[in-house]
Amino acid sequence: MTLRIGIAGTGGFAKLHADRLSRLEGVRVAAVLGSSKEKADAMAAAFDDARGYDSLSRLLDAERLDAFYICVPPMAHGDIERALIERGVPFLVEKPLGLDAALPKELLGLIEAKGLITSVGYHFRSKNNAERLRSLLEGRTLGMATGGWMGGMPGVPWWRRKEGSGGQFVEQTTHLVDLLRYAAGEVDEVYAAYGNRAMHLKHENVSVPDVGAVVLKLRSGAVATISNTCLLPWDAGAVHLSFFTEEGRIDWTKDELAVVGGGGRSVYTDPVDPYGLETEAFLHAVRTGDVSRIRSDYADAYRTQAVTHAANVSAETGLPAKPAY
């Protein structure tokens, strides 16, 4: 059976997923939803017999779809998910799930009531080193973790506005929060401090903080600190997490895992394509109903969203905040 897939979005991640889907046997990109018909048609033209739409209702009325990919900015979530849930169409949605925790919590209730198959694009979980990291930490007592998402400010206007992206901790650093949860367990409380140091002076309409630091208390008793900034030049960035135990230190980056201690250092590279693997797991679930390969479904991703939103609440109030699980 050939799976017919619809895609919402015409940006980089929509094209990333569409390109991978188009290379799979028994899979067809059938429809593209864009913010304009012109954008949708332009993207759809790259795929045989795909059609572009600027209306989700017209798309869903016209197309018989087996699954859907939602690749839209944080402020654009809600109506797409509700329509797919109502029609029982499984979907993979890119992170984050929204600007805050209220909408994702509402959508989670609808998803669970429908029993719908979902997947969320926390692709770091699909890397081999995510499982290796998780396995290593299971046998150790974690004392603390530190990490950071250090980079530059994306050029798209919606990212620079808090009402468009939710801010860097929600839109980018969420990946590190998710990997922390996956490897080391749940977060019970956060305390955050954000600041505007430079970018609001260099660019127009910037309302997101350009520096931030968040302390996270884990249920296990461990403590983590994750920082982020978007004021760096693009060639100075770094994304990393480090875990500290009595046996030594484990350093994670997107490309490798280093285990240091006991007089030695072991390095594990990780060249796999995580986007391809998360798609394979999702489509396997769509075909068979077996969701065991999906590393992050909507219910799990909601817990990450709750942590990042709690960080925003803490930064706004100056007080510790608990995720609304």
List per-block mean pLDDT (blocks of 10 residues) for the chain, which spans 325 residues: 96 97 97 98 96 98 98 98 98 98 98 98 98 95 98 95 98 98 98 94 93 98 98 96 97 97 95 97 98 98 98 98 96
Q: Is the Cβ–Cβ distance between 261 and 201 less than 8 Å?
A: no
Cα separation, 280 vs 67, in Å, equals 13
Cα angle, residue 43 at apex, residues 153 and 166 outer, rounded to 5°: 30
Please name which of 90, 129, 19, 128 lies closest in space to residue 282, comparing C-alpha atoms. 90
Shared fold status for 3-123+275-295 and 124-271+305-317:
no
Q: Which two tokens stand for residue 179?
A: 């990997």
Q: How far is CA 135 from CA 98, 114, 124, 256, 262, in A?
A: 31, 33, 15, 15, 18
Q: Which two tokens stand for residue 294?
A: 């999906």
Q: Which residue has the tokens 């609808």?
A: 110
pLDDT at 60: 98
pLDDT at 1: 83
Cα separation, 67 vs 90, in Å, equals 5
CATH code: domain 3-123+275-295 is 3.40.50.720
The DSSP code sequence of 207-267 is -S-SEEEEEEEETTS-EEEEEEES-S-GGG-EEEEEEEETTEEEEEESSEEEEEETTEEEE
Integer-rounded Cα radius of gyration of the chain: 20
pLDDT at 139: 85
pLDDT at 212: 98
pLDDT at 83: 98
pLDDT at 6: 98
Residue 119 pairs in a beta bridge with 92
Cα separation, 40 vs 238, in Å, equals 34
CATH superfamily assigned to domain 124-271+305-317:
Dihydrodipicolinate Reductase; domain 2 (3.30.360.10)
Burial class for 109, CB neighbours closer than 10 Å (0-12, 13-18, 19+): exposed
Burial class for 252, CB neighbours closer than 10 Å (0-12, 13-18, 19+): buried
Q: Is the Cβ–Cβ distance between 139 and 218 less than 8 Å?
A: no
Q: How far is CA 49 from CA 4, 23, 30, 43, 202, in A?
A: 11, 15, 7, 12, 44
Sketch the domain layout of the chain as residue ranges.
3-123+275-295, 124-271+305-317
Q: Is the Cβ–Cβ distance between 231 and 198 less than 8 Å?
A: yes
Q: Is the Cβ–Cβ distance between 92 and 67 less than 8 Å?
A: yes
Cα separation, 102 vs 104, in Å, equals 6
